[in-house]
Chains A and B, each alone.
Chain A
């Protein structure tokens, strides 16, 4: 299916939850969706007979600037061989996005990484711990307004 057809199919089922879609004039066509609808949409994308997005290629946490952070999902279908990109934005004050761990197991570690480095809180994630940084690290380094702490466990940073 082309990105246009995928978007139309999603719009027909979910309507308002799709806030924006850029399919022309961009490198990768993407669909923006509301954060609270991500789990239902993800489940539909995976299980719908026409779409069958069974492979989550990449899940990236991004600081979009202007007080917004979010997550980008790159999906692929092994059987239908089509791709689509989903984008979700939330405010920095309340960075909560439902987890898609139960739909694609790949998301488990990727969501932990996004939580670790960007600070997106994935609700419903079974094991949301830091994964790359030490457990007691403070702050989320890939946020654009991140300040390096002066000390970590009594050691000067950067030493």
Chain B
């Protein structure tokens, strides 16, 4: 951290040089903003005095669209496009909200399929986050390794539902297709392949001296600030808060599996720095593999869709449902007025909330550190702007 303050600087001839704060635009087109985000940086020399984020470049009127649909199920393809790197998790959160309003239970096989898909999606999403984070701070190679492995997960998704990025797979009441007959076998093969890969990432990036220098002790987010700002997911756990919605506010069948919640411990610097947020993601991938392997072993036979009418009409009422997406707490606040169209759909997106803490943790660092901090927050503009 650097102290800022504009002092009078004199030239060699004794003349007072003019010195003032400068405003620099970072984005909307900037590789480290991971999309179209504009940061207005107020800088004193190279030290950041303030950061003012400007959002909305990717605003697609999700909430307005959802109110204009003729069916609850029609909203799901739009949910896919909220967080396009973790579509399964977005669909699942919305489907859970719909199911809670309808007060229905889905078949047990569906719960297991959803857990498997969501955890695979978490790994795929973390791989993008970690790979592009490496790119941001100047490490190109890990990115290629991580995308290679992500492809294999996308192949699994493709053989299940035909799509590689935007799945429209998890519906209210079930999932659109059953798993193909070879899925369990291929998924197990992937888990076996993937475990040693994590060590490879660690050798390439995690414990790389330059990477540690760029990320440790940078962008420190204390736990109380993180809670006050409503941060969630790896952002919150990186600050040392042992909280995971999958364990502390359980949904689906997560309580049937054995796994650990990973938290930042300040191994390379201070608790809550960029490196802690990074390592939480790496360790979470390992835990996801644990969950997937248990789920693949226990998955029961059965239907993949519960018997619900084609046109859903929940009773008037409202509910808020939250789940743990790769970025944190994705919540849907749904209001039903008894018709077939949702009256109000509000998406509480994790990246939107996590980004709001950015000005607080960027102050006092260098401009290059802003890039490192922004990468460690792992924003997806699709869900920030909705």
* Partner among A78, A110, A142 whose Cβ is within 8 Å of the Cβ of B243: A78
The answer to whether A58 touches B55 (Cβ under 8 A) is: no
- Cα–Cα, bound, A98→B59 (Å): 27
The answer to the question of A1 belonging to the interface, with a C-beta cut-off of 8 Å to chain B, is no
CB-defined contacts of B356 to chain A, threshold 8 Å: 105-106, 108-109
CB-defined contacts of B61 to chain A, threshold 8 Å: 141
For chain A, residues 10 to 68, give those with C-beta under 8 angstroms from any C-beta of chain B: 26-28, 30, 54-58, 60, 62-63
The answer to whether A58 touches B59 (Cβ under 8 A) is: no
* Partner among B56, B103, B353 whose Cβ is within 8 Å of the Cβ of A133: B56
Shortest distance in angstroms between A45's beta carbon and chain B's nearest beta carbon? Answer: 14
The answer to whether B63 touches A142 (Cβ under 8 A) is: yes
The answer to the question of A72 belonging to the interface, with a C-beta cut-off of 8 Å to chain B, is yes
CB-defined contacts of A134 to chain B, threshold 8 Å: 56
The answer to the question of A74 belonging to the interface, with a C-beta cut-off of 8 Å to chain B, is yes
Given the interface pairs A131-B56, A134-B56, the reply to whether A81 lies near B248 with Cβ below 8 Å is yes
The answer to whether B335 touches A62 (Cβ under 8 A) is: yes
The answer to whether A58 touches B56 (Cβ under 8 A) is: no
- Cα–Cα, bound, A109→B359 (Å): 12
- Cα–Cα, bound, A72→B333 (Å): 9
Shortest distance in angstroms between A31's beta carbon and chain B's nearest beta carbon? Answer: 13
Number of chain B interface residues as a range: 35 or more
Q: Which of A63, A85, A109 has the most CB of B within 10 A?
A: A109
* Partner among A60, A108, A132 whose Cβ is within 8 Å of the Cβ of B344: A60
CB-defined contacts of A72 to chain B, threshold 8 Å: 318, 333
Shortest distance in angstroms between B330's beta carbon and chain A's nearest beta carbon? Answer: 10
- Cα–Cα, bound, A105→B230 (Å): 7
For chain B, residues 197 to 243, give those with C-beta under 8 angstroms from any C-beta of chain A: 225, 227-230, 241, 243
- Cα–Cα, bound, A141→B352 (Å): 20
The answer to whether A28 touches B353 (Cβ under 8 A) is: no
CB-defined contacts of B353 to chain A, threshold 8 Å: 106, 109-110
Number of chain A interface residues as a range: 20 to 34
Shortest distance in angstroms between A63's beta carbon and chain B's nearest beta carbon? Answer: 8
Given the interface pairs A27-B100, A28-B319, the reply to whether A57 lies near B352 with Cβ below 8 Å is no
- Cα–Cα, bound, A70→B67 (Å): 17
CB-defined contacts of A58 to chain B, threshold 8 Å: 320, 322, 331, 333, 346, 348
The chain B residue with its CB closest to the CB of A146 is B64
CB-defined contacts of B333 to chain A, threshold 8 Å: 58, 60, 72, 74
- Cα–Cα, bound, A54→B67 (Å): 31
The answer to the question of B276 belonging to the interface, with a C-beta cut-off of 8 Å to chain A, is no
- Cα–Cα, bound, A57→B249 (Å): 13
CB-defined contacts of B385 to chain A, threshold 8 Å: 132
The chain B residue with its CB closest to the CB of A104 is B228
* Partner among A56, A60, A108, A141 whose Cβ is within 8 Å of the Cβ of B346: A60
The chain A residue with its CB closest to the CB of B67 is A142
Report B283-299 CB contacts with A as 1/0, cut-off 8 Å.
00000000000000000
The answer to the question of A88 belonging to the interface, with a C-beta cut-off of 8 Å to chain B, is no
Given the interface pairs A131-B56, A141-B64, the reply to whether A54 lies near B331 with Cβ below 8 Å is no
The chain B residue with its CB closest to the CB of A30 is B318
The answer to the question of A117 belonging to the interface, with a C-beta cut-off of 8 Å to chain B, is yes
* Partner among A60, A74, A78, A141 whose Cβ is within 8 Å of the Cβ of B227: A78
The answer to whether A78 touches B241 (Cβ under 8 A) is: yes
- Cα–Cα, bound, A62→B329 (Å): 21
- Cα–Cα, bound, A155→B91 (Å): 34
The answer to the question of B138 belonging to the interface, with a C-beta cut-off of 8 Å to chain A, is no
The chain A residue with its CB closest to the CB of B331 is A58
- Cα–Cα, bound, A117→B320 (Å): 19
* Partner among B56, B64, B230 whose Cβ is within 8 Å of the Cβ of A57: B230
The answer to the question of B317 belonging to the interface, with a C-beta cut-off of 8 Å to chain A, is yes
The chain B residue with its CB closest to the CB of A130 is B56
The chain A residue with its CB closest to the CB of B336 is A27
CB-defined contacts of B344 to chain A, threshold 8 Å: 60, 62-63, 142
Shortest distance in angstroms between A132's beta carbon and chain B's nearest beta carbon? Answer: 4
CB-defined contacts of A141 to chain B, threshold 8 Å: 61, 64
CB-defined contacts of B319 to chain A, threshold 8 Å: 27-28
Could you list some 6 contacts between A and B, CB below 8 A? Answer: A54-B227, A54-B228, A60-B348, A105-B225, A106-B230, A142-B64
Q: Which 7 A-B pairs have the closest CB atoms?
A: A106-B230, A60-B346, A27-B319, A58-B348, A132-B56, A109-B356, A105-B229
Apart from A74-B320, A106-B353, list 17 A-B contacts with CB within 8 A: A27-B100, A28-B318, A30-B318, A55-B227, A55-B230, A56-B230, A57-B322, A57-B329, A57-B348, A78-B227, A78-B241, A81-B248, A105-B228, A105-B229, A105-B356, A131-B56, A142-B64
